[in-house]
Amino acid sequence: NAGVMQNPRHLVRRRGQEARLRCSPMKGHSHVYWYRQLPEEGLKFMVYLQKENIIDESGMPKERFSAEFPKEGPSILRIQQVVRGDSAAYFCASSPSGQHYGYTFGSGTRLTVV
């Protein structure tokens, strides 16, 4: 049973390009969460999704960032027109429906904007 899979592990984008980060939750997990970790800081909550629904996006920047978790396929965090300040590690976590246990993180995608 594979864990939470994130790809790519490393992503380099030039300023103004789009970044797409993918997250496949653990088997049987229907809840996905995205976090961002800036250098020297802790993880900051961005968005909580269930299949085809955004539950809580209170941590998402108002512009350029969007997330989806379609009926089929992985969850996608999309950053349009990236800027240097978007450089960070982006972590995805998944959990079974409504459970405290099993909240599991992926290994993250490190985004570098040059």
Partner 1 sequence: DQQVKQNSPSLSVQEGRISILNCDYTNSMFDYFLWYKKYPAEGPTFLISISSIKDKNEDGRFTVFLNKSAKHLSLHIVPSQPGDSAVYFCAACATDSWGKFQFGAGTQVVVTP
Residues at the contact surface with partner 1, assessed by CB under 8 A: 4, 6, 31, 33, 35, 40-45, 48, 55-56, 58-59, 91, 93, 95, 98, 100, 103-108
Q: Hey, what are 61's tokens? A: 């920047």
Q: How far apart are CA 108 and CA 94, in angstroms?
A: 13
- Provide the minimum distance between the beta carbon of 92 and partner 1 in the complex, in angstroms, as a whole number: 8
- Peptide bond preceding 70 in cis form (omega within 30 of 0): no
Query: Which CB, 33 or 65, lies closer to partner 1?
Result: 33
Query: Which CB, 66 or 107, lies closer to partner 1?
Result: 107
Q: Hey, what are 90's tokens? A: 């982006």
